[in-house]
Amino acid sequence: MSALHWNVFLSAAQPPPITSRKKGPPGDKLKMILGLGTFVFIIAALILLKIFVFGTYKSPSGSMAPTIVIGDHFFVSKLAYKGSIPDRGDVIVFKYPMNESLDYVKRVIAREGEKVTINDGIVYVNNKRIKEDYVQFLGSEYGIKVPPMRNFGPVTIPPGKLFVLGDNRDSSSDSRYWGFVPMENVKGKALFIYWSENEDRVRSDRIGGKIH
């Protein structure tokens, strides 16, 4: 075999040179792991907050108008009444006593031991008229269809119960029609509106509004 052919044979028999694969800086992998861990932590924290601290609800009716209207989405504190009971005037979310698979939102008017009377739409608790700047009589166009009940009572609230009314007083299914709310049915206190929309637009003027 000639020298030329021998050199060609040796060249063909040799393995290709090993090339090193470029590696990124060691910190890149650590950053990716930390970023993924942070993301998982945030998601877990939000889930825990949703379960134990805050709830989110959407109003399906106008029974609480104008405080809460159809299309309002609002936050509820689940810890507001741990070891305490709602104050008069608080807006609460609770399991509807006649069907606990449904959630209702209403305003607390009286608590256990208090006497409620309604005369011509004016509410008295323990024979004293209460101030209700939030009350409207908007009719069924903004709420649900119920026979108006502007006279009611007197009735004394039993232990462990609440008397609640809707702000849209002529169009609200509330304690006047189906009775009292057991404290164990209360899910939390409505705090503020975080989103609001109707069929064709976002109501930015309602977003961030405190519920009181």
Q: CB-side exposure of 179: number of CA atoms within 13 Å?
A: 10
Q: How far apart are the first and last CA of the chain?
A: 102
Q: Where are the domains of the chain?
A: 78-189
pLDDT of amino acid 37: 57
Segments of the chain assigned E as strands:
54-58, 72-77, 91-95, 103-111, 115-119, 122-125, 128-129, 152-156, 161-165, 181-182, 186-196
Give the closest residue to 182 by CA, choosing from 117, 98, 126, 118.
98
Selecting among 78, 106, 187, 189, the annotated active-site residue is: 106
pTM: 0.74
Q: Which residues of the chain have pLDDT under 50?
A: 1-13, 20, 41, 45-46, 48-52
- The per-residue b/e assignment along 165-202, b for 16 or more CB within 10 angstroms, e otherwise, is bbbbbbbbbbbbeeebbebebbbbbbbebebbbeeeee
Instruction: For residue range 65-92, list pLDDT tens digits in order.
Output: 999 999 999 999 999 898 899 999 999 9
Both tokens of 206, joined, read 């309602």
Tell me how far CA of residue 7 lies from CA of 11, 13, 14, 107, in angstroms: 6, 10, 11, 97
The CATH code belonging to domain 78-189 is: 2.10.109.10
Residues 181 and 157: their CA atoms lie apart, in Å, by 10
Given a contact cutoff of 8 angstroms between Cβ atoms, the answer to whether 134 and 167 are in contact is yes
Catalytic status, residue 78 = no
Catalytic status, residue 210 = no
Give the closest residue to 177 by CA, choosing from 158, 163, 159.
163
The residues pairing with 182 across neighbouring beta strands, listed in sequence order, are 161
Amino acid, res. 167 = D
Selecting among 59, 61, 63, 196, the annotated active-site residue is: 63
